[in-house]
Structure 1
Amino acid sequence: MHYTQMLLSKAIDDNNVQALTKYGITAKDCATEGDRQTLRYILDYAEKNRGQAPGYATVTAECPDFVYTPQVGDSYEFLAREIKKHSAKVQFAELVNGKLGEQFENVGQKDIFKMFEWLQSEVESIKLRTSVRSKIGTDIKSDAEAFLAEYRRRKDGESFKIWRSKFPSINEQIGGYLSGNMYTWHGRSGRGKSVFTMEEAIEAAVQGANVLVWAMEMSRFEWMARAYSAISARAGIVNANIDGIDYEAGFENRALLTGKLSDEFEAGFEIFLSQMAEGEHLAGNITLRAADDADFFTRDVKQLEADILATKADVVVVDPIYLMDYEANTSKVAGGDVANTSKRIRRLAGLTGAVIHVITQADEVKDDRDDEGNRELRAPKRAEIKKTKAVLEDAANVFGIDTLDGAGIIEIGKGRNGGEGTQVEVLYLPNYGIVREVETGEAAVSQFDF
């Protein structure tokens, strides 16, 4: 049966050209050039005549190959599905008989996995172009039962997860990190962005999360040394006297990096690592992909999605976004490539249900010094985000950070659910694994006996 001509005939009879748009019927879906000519004529006529369809006699006169079918009883959805089904077969045949062989010659013989990625992308594109949706979006009245079912799943902790921050004030202000959201961290160069997000990654793993870290600026050994220092500090494995104050600390990061632990501490470190291997210290897991990993050469959003699915990641750190392989700049405007990348990461968070922490830089400023020229602790404002504002717009929360002489600050620069402007004071001694919120008020006083 000639479903395209049946659909066009029905649209003419019903004066319903909008049905063609609703079901996404395009010239590419038409089986013959005559059908394409007829579709174009009907759409052009409607555009020039306030959406009205031409009469069947007019269409027959203007389009010689059109065969009018009166009183078509089938639904628009049925006819559209049949047209799209045939279109999918034609497009797939064109792919197999045309571009597939060419792609194999050019790419597949060198890198078969890249060809598989290309083929998967092409097939997905065909599926998207030829699918017919019977329902658009959610009806907030009739779908209330579905909401209630989701509410109950969230109440039972089945479909929704909140991962608590290491910093109590962040939990107090935003309620923790909600699954399916993207969070942006920014700070000027060398101020500790990687350290703060590492602490949040470790905190999630302590709670049982599967964590994926893309550390594109740090070597594997450097990131692991920092992480082991931070994790051991949580357990208070080492006592350290820093500037006359005793702290429960971790293995010294610099000593780990340079291989200069004392014999005693080296023995203790080996015990600590064996405990981690047996499941102590971290209830969850952290999977690291670092700058010097030989197999970490593709760094686009598609690879990030593949890694999230492979590791079943609940929490992800992208450090930093500006070292990713950007998406195409389809808007042709400055910063459009990273903006598209940010948007896709935001969608990826929603698609996978992961919490994704994204790091970017803040602009350097000249107003962070006092009258004597000494630098002051000042978190960057959200207007100072460098590279693109998309990472601001796409994030549920934006955190500006700064550190100076053992102190740190986190400022919530954007809060979709509140907390904007809140500042968190931090004790910042990362060489000893100590990065924690400074206790104030009664909590601080209770530490001392008078």
Structure 2
Amino acid sequence: MSNYAEMLISKVIDQNDVTALARYGVEESHLATEGERKALRFIKKYSAENGGSTPSPEVLAANVEDFTYLPQIEDSYEYLAKQIKGHSAKLGVKQLLENGFVDKFSKIADGNILIDDLISELKGIKMNTNTSSKIGTSLKTDTTTFLDEYKRRKSGESFKIWKSKFATINNEVGGYLSGNMYSWYGRSGRGKSVFTMEEALEAATQGARVLVWAMEMSRFEWMARAYSSLSARQGIIDANIEGVNYDVGFENRALLTGKLSEEFESGFEVFLLSLNESLKGEIILRAADDVDFHKRDVAQLESDIHQTKADVVVVDPIYLMDFEANTARVAGGDVANTSKKIRRMAGLTDTVIHVITQAEEVRDDTDEEGNRELRAPKRAEIKKTKAVLEDAANTFGIDTLDGQGLIEIGKSRNSSSEGAQVEVLYMPNYGLVRELETGQAAASQFDF
């Protein structure tokens, strides 16, 4: 190969421009020979001790024997750096395949783990040999880029807004914008999984491909709840509950226990056959009892998103994931790092990611007689880690009690809707989880 490293270093000396090394990210690890690395070290040391100036060719030759100075290099820094890093990447791949990968191949039996490790290593090589010299976006000179993106958004090409099932959330925060992470939190057993399932199904009815990581629930249980909800949206069954008539879906408990009546069994089979036409999008479920769902880290989540081409993702709950390393050595640092990577992934994959976590148990949600009151937790009560609050575009605290539900917006990055509440009719056994109307209509829902 032509000695591009000697060309670039010689050009740096000729132009007295040591900053070019930093601008184009050329480091010792990119250079093939010890002579080139010695020359780079000497130039940096000389520059630091001499007000930023580079040494003359003669001084360099006197201090570094194994380096050939090449005068009057006309090629651009960008071109030379690209050639250096391209060759460095090639050597990195060669070394990986001949040394590290061979060793892993003999020790690791699972080929999928080998592939994941190889992809991770190759990504590291690619990042280390990136040749881009441009950092960030200029508000002055990149206006055309902004206008192009604006037009793509106007036509619905470059991003999506997936509407919530709950009108108040759409009115207050504008729905769920692709590229963002949204956090849901509530005390144990209050319906976090149900609310996020409803949002997942709502997105699917709009045409989204939805990936669900249900790490607390079996496949059959999650599917039963989903089928109950989807059938309720069609108002398949007319039921009288506590003296009030509702259009409901197939009863969840009857589906779970295999106790639908013969008439409802026939209707349920017809309903399932109709889903291909009635459900515009798709739901891909990975559940707690899936035998192939043993790896649950951020890398696997990213892989699943790409493989399923997901638009919307539900992580239920984040604290059952395989956490990232706690590099900061602080309490909660592992889940905090996981949250940060999920937030970054939402942007890189252009997806909406709903993340579930818990809220602290409290004692102030009862009246003077000890009866529990409906109260959504505040954002200060988020358990496990505050990172899921900080990383989210919006947070939603939830609570449920005796057929009623409450969603409270705890944080809103893009609006002033913090504290806004959604009153919900909450009867998930019948597939009924929907926002109550205001005024007299809402009051009559519980007029038993």
Partner of 1:399: 396
Shift of 1:25: 1.3
Name the amino acid aligned to 1:77. E
Residues 411-448 of structure 1, C-alpha deviations (whole Å, 9 max, x = no match): 1111111121111111111111111111103765899x
Partner of 2:238: 239
| Unpaired runs of at least 5, structure 2 | none
Residues 206-264 of structure 1, C-alpha deviations (whole Å, 9 max, x = no match): 11111111101000010011111111111111222222222211111111111122222
Partner of 2:129: 130
Shift of 1:136: 2.5
Task: Establish whether residue 207 from structure 1 lines up as the match of residue 206 from structure 2.
Answer: yes
Partner of 1:297: 294
For residues 365 and 16 of structure 1, the distance between their equivalents in structure 2, rounded to whole angstroms, comes to 63
Structure 2 counterpart of 1:368, from 365, 377, 391: 365
For residues 58 and 191 of structure 1, the distance between their equivalents in structure 2, rounded to whole angstroms, comes to 74
Is 222-231 or 70-79 further displaced after alignment? 70-79
Structure 1 counterpart of 2:420, from 416, 422, 426: 422
Instruction: State the SS of the aligned residue for 1:375.
Output: coil
Structure 2 counterpart of 1:389, from 386, 390, 397: 386
Partner of 2:163: 164
Is 299-308 or 41-50 further displaced after alignment? 41-50
For residues 299 and 412 of structure 2, the distance between their equivalents in structure 1, rounded to whole angstroms, comes to 28
Is 198-207 or 143-152 further displaced after alignment? 143-152
For residues 296 and 22 of structure 1, the distance between their equivalents in structure 2, rounded to whole angstroms, comes to 44
Partner of 2:432: 434
1:104-119 map, 5 Å: 104-107=105-108, 110-119=109-118
Checking the alignment, whether the CA contact within 8 Å between 2:85 and 2:130 is kept in structure 1 is yes
Partner of 2:350: 353
Change in 2 beyond 3 A, CA 1:63/1:426: same
Checking the alignment, whether the CA contact within 8 Å between 2:405 and 2:424 is kept in structure 1 is yes
Name the amino acid aligned to 1:165. S
Residues 170-192 of structure 1, C-alpha deviations (whole Å, 9 max, x = no match): 00001111111111111111110
Partner of 2:341: 344
Is 366-375 or 180-189 further displaced after alignment? 366-375
Shift of 1:117: 1.8
Name the amino acid aligned to 2:424. V
Name the amino acid aligned to 1:300. D
Partner of 2:76: 75
Shift of 1:370: 2.2
For residues 409 and 44 of structure 1, the distance between their equivalents in structure 2, rounded to whole angstroms, comes to 64
Change in 2 beyond 3 A, CA 1:441/1:337: same
Partner of 2:248: 249
For residues 30 and 216 of structure 1, the distance between their equivalents in structure 2, rounded to whole angstroms, comes to 46
For residues 384 and 11 of structure 1, the distance between their equivalents in structure 2, rounded to whole angstroms, comes to 56
Name the amino acid aligned to 1:289. R
Instruction: State the SS of the aligned residue for 1:279.
Output: helix
For residues 396 and 125 of structure 1, the distance between their equivalents in structure 2, rounded to whole angstroms, comes to 29
Partner of 1:408: 405
Instruction: State the SS of the aligned residue for 2:141.
Output: coil
Partner of 1:329: 326
For residues 273 and 86 of structure 2, the distance between their equivalents in structure 1, rounded to whole angstroms, comes to 57
Shift of 1:146: 2.4
Shift of 1:52: 4.2
1:239-318 map, 5 Å: 239-276=238-275, 278-280=276-278, 282-318=279-315
Shift of 1:8: 2.2
Shift of 1:47: 4.1
Name the amino acid aligned to 2:386. K
Name the amino acid aligned to 1:245. V
Shift of 1:350: 1.5
Shift of 1:48: 4.9
Partner of 1:140: 139
For residues 274 and 2 of structure 1, the distance between their equivalents in structure 2, rounded to whole angstroms, comes to 66
Pairwise CA RMSD: 2.0
Residues 52-108 of structure 1, C-alpha deviations (whole Å, 9 max, x = no match): 43444443333333333334332211221121122122212211221121111011x
Residues 249-299 of structure 1, C-alpha deviations (whole Å, 9 max, x = no match): 1111111111122222222222222222x422x211111111001111111
Shift of 1:11: 2.2
Number of positions where the alignment pairs a residue of Structure 1 with one of Structure 2: 443
Checking the alignment, whether the CA contact within 8 Å between 2:397 and 2:410 is kept in structure 1 is yes
For residues 207 and 142 of structure 2, the distance between their equivalents in structure 1, rounded to whole angstroms, comes to 33
Shift of 1:169: 0.2
Structure 1 residue ranges, 4+ long, deviating more than 6 angstroms after superposition: none
Shift of 1:38: 2.4
Checking the alignment, whether the CA contact within 8 Å between 2:179 and 2:349 is kept in structure 1 is yes
Shift of 1:50: 5.3
Q: Report % sequence identity.
A: 66
Partner of 1:30: 31
Task: Establish whether residue 2 from structure 1 lines up as the match of residue 3 from structure 2.
Answer: yes
Change in 2 beyond 3 A, CA 1:228/1:86: same
Name the amino acid aligned to 2:136. G
Checking the alignment, whether the CA contact within 8 Å between 2:404 and 2:426 is kept in structure 1 is yes
- TM superposition score normalised by structure 2: 0.93
For residues 50 and 257 of structure 2, the distance between their equivalents in structure 1, rounded to whole angstroms, comes to 77
